[in-house]
Structure 1
């Protein structure tokens, strides 16, 4: 039952990520929720199979690095453009 709740929350975060295209902060938050729920699914899978949880620790380290990079991009965007709209971010302006 818990697996279905986690899977439903994961798909809801995917839907939120696909539907929000205005603010970078909301997109980053939905990506973090996707990482969190995929970690929960991975943890439950590894616990059920009886494997070591070292891979979960490695997954958490990479997800923290991803979150820090996303936050630094958000701060850089707000400092340069004054807002976090995705429409103001362009490849040519970098």
Structure 2
């Protein structure tokens, strides 16, 4: 269980440090979701059966997040010419 927390913290650190490309931000978010999914899987293996439904819902949301993130990446890279976060006007 400690390794799942470590993976989550590494992904959070990567999210904080990699502010250049949109794809790297999306990969860090996906790594955070996978670590949460694995953590819930470990809890359900240890004997508690109620996190199994939560894990399935989390897996569904992470698949939707990945597909919408990639669609947004394609749309932004076609309209702006690159996926650099510094080229976006976020104000």
Structure 2 unaligned regions, length at least 5: none
> How many residue pairs end up in the alignment?
90
User: Which 4+ runs in 1 deviate beyond 3 A?
Assistant: none
CA positional deviation for 1:55: 2.0
**Aligned alpha-carbon RMSD (Å):** 1.4
Partner of 1:15: 13
Partner of 2:28: 30
Local SS of the residue matching 2:46: helix
TM-score normalised by the chain length of structure 2: 0.89
Structure 1 unaligned regions, length at least 5: none
Partner of 2:81: 82
Residue of structure 2 aligned with 1:43, choices 37, 41, 44: 41
Partner of 1:65: 64
CA positional deviation for 1:8: 0.9
Distance 2:6 2:48 in 1: 24
